[in-house]
Amino acid sequence: MTRAAGDAPLLPGAWLGVLGGGQLGRMFCQAAQALGYRVAVLDPAQTCPAGMVADEHIRAAYDDPAALDRLAQRCAAVTTEFENVPADSLRRLARTRIAAPAGEAVAVAQDRLAEKSYIQAAGVPVAAHAAIGSAADLDACPDTLFPGILKTARFGYDGKGQARVASRDEARQAFGALHGAPCILEALQPLDYEISVVVARDLHGRSVSYPPSRNVHRDGILALSVADGSVPDGIAGQARGHALSLADHLDYHGVLCVEFFVLRDGRVLANEMAPRPHNSGHYTQDGCLVSQFEQQARVMAGLPLGGTEMLRPAAMLNLLGDLWFDAQGRPREPDWAGVLAVPGTRLHLYGKSEARRARKMGHVNILGADAAQLHARIARVSAVLGLSDA
């Protein structure tokens, strides 16, 4: 269900709903509440980051019909904060309420093979790949896919459910280790660097895009995103155009992130998409006029999309649970005073009660007057936290 052209926007005081109680839902709640909206969160956990700040926390499974109906009765529009929410739950909500994104778009993002097909159908290039459903498929795939990366088709994130394979024999072993789950084999690319682009598309097909961020991953988890203007204009334009084309092709409503490989020869290939605000877009909270989370609320409420221009060069440094332990594995609290003593820093913690290694606990946004100052500040914050900066 979508709001018809000419319908009045939702007024402040109206309710918006979100499936998922993690940190992305928390930051959505805060952005929507700043605009005057109330937010209901549906999440099965007794305590969760979004539930702590929401106006109402409906504690139930994501596919609980009674809970979904309760959310629909309360909220005029709903969204999701992670892509593995059941697509049918969004479809059910969309019968009577605005769902942004739609269940169909989320279903595409849940399956890497469907995702690759949709990206290609939108005219956006991707890496050479093959569907792997059996050992026979590995035997039949071309030699040009090696070396490659074998990934489960569903439910992989932050480096999970994937393995680099140098040869067909290694691919067979990796496929067995993944218990024969449906997979996709992608040829490794001559990578120069990785970028991502966040776009927002409203209920009437109008869209905006943010400047791309350059991303650094460690152990498959995003460590640092930098939006300092260092991506050449031609590459930035290609990536932003591709992301907008994909959003149009999906008839997407909401915030969408598309990750890209930039190859050494200058080609730009789409890697994957996330039908929600994204870790790499956190820099928009402090570095842009309107954040990705406010854009999400604006789409749902039928408000005009906000400006995406940069206020200053900005970066996002991820804070994983490892920082809460010293070299001997003893619990400790990171030096927040030292972090905040670095000019241009904004600390965002997610309210999670327990730190675990590789768990996303928060992030630091860092601003600078120019790229040189920004990178100097990234290095200073990284030194305070005992991290190596990129």
Looking at residue 299, its amino acid is V
The per-residue pLDDT for 159 is: 63
- Which residues belong to CATH 3.30.1490.20 in the chain? 128-187
116 known member of a binding site: no
Query: Is pLDDT at 29 greater than 90 in this prediction?
Result: yes
The CATH H-level (homologous superfamily) assignment of domain 191-385 is ATP-grasp fold, B domain (3.30.470.20)
Q: Considering the entire predicted model, what is its pTM?
A: 0.95
Per-residue pLDDT band for 5 (boundaries 50, 70, 90) equals very low
Beta strand pairing call for 254-263 and 98-99: unpaired
Residue showing tokens 């093979």:
113
Can you read off the two tokens belonging to residue 11? 């007024």
Nearest alpha carbon to residue 207 among 298, 131, 127: 298
Whether domain 15-109 has CATH 3.90.870.10: the reply is no
Angle at 275 between CA 352 and CA 117, to 5 degrees: 140
Cis peptide, bond prior to residue 212, ω within 30 of zero: no
Q: For position 3, what pLDDT does the model report?
A: 53
Task: Give the residue among 299, 277, 278 at the shortest CA–CA distance from 76.
Answer: 299
Q: Tell me if 157 is assigned to a ligand binding site.
A: yes
Q: Is 350 annotated as a binding residue?
A: no
* Residue 151 known to bind ligand: yes
Does the pLDDT value for residue 21 go beyond 50?
yes
The segment(s) of the chain belonging to CATH 3.40.50.20 are 15-109
Region 112-133 average pLDDT: 97
Between the CA of residue 98 and those of 79, 203, 299, what are the distances in Å? 8, 9, 10
Q: State mean pLDDT over 156-172.
A: 86
**Residue 295, pLDDT above cutoff 90:** yes
Q: What is the mean pLDDT of the chain?
A: 95
162 in a known ligand binding site: yes
What's the pLDDT tens digit per position in 306-350? 999 999 999 999 999 999 999 999 999 999 999 999 999 999 999
Annotated binding-site residue? 370? no
pLDDT of residue 2: 55
**CATH code 3.30.470.20 region(s) in the chain:** 191-385
CATH assignment of 128-187?
Answer: 3.30.1490.20
Q: What would the 3-class secondary structure string for the chain be?
A: CCCCCCCCCCCCCCEEEEECCCHHHHHHHHHHHHCCCEEEEECCCCCCHHHHHCCEEECCCCCCHHHHHHHHHHCCEEEECCCCCCHHHHHHHHCCCEECCCHHHHHHHCEHHHHHHHHHHCCCCECCEEEECCHHHHHHCCHHHCCEEEEECECCCCCCCEEEECCHHHHHHHHHHCCCCCEEEEECCCEEEEEEEEEEECCCCCEEECCCEEEEEECCEEEEEEECCCCCHHHHHHHHHHHHHHHHHCCCCEEEEEEEEEECCCCEEEEEEECCCCHHHCCHHHHECCCHHHHHHHHHHCCCCCCCCECCCEEEEEEEHHHHECCCCCECCCCHHHHHCCCCEEEEECCCCCCCCCCEEEEEEEECCCHHHHHHHHHHHHHHHCCCCC
- How do residues 231-269 score in pLDDT, each as one tens digit? 999 999 999 999 999 999 999 999 999 999 999 999 999
Flag whether 333 is marked binding.
no
Q: What is the mean pLDDT of residues 170-185?
A: 94
**271 known member of a binding site:** yes
Mean pLDDT score, 206-215:
98
Q: Is 352 annotated as a binding residue?
A: no
What is the mean predicted confidence (pLDDT) over 62-77? 98
- In this predicted structure, the answer to whether residue 6 has a pLDDT above a threshold of 70 is no
Q: What is the pLDDT of residue 155?
A: 74
156 is in an annotated binding site: yes
pLDDT of residue 160: 73
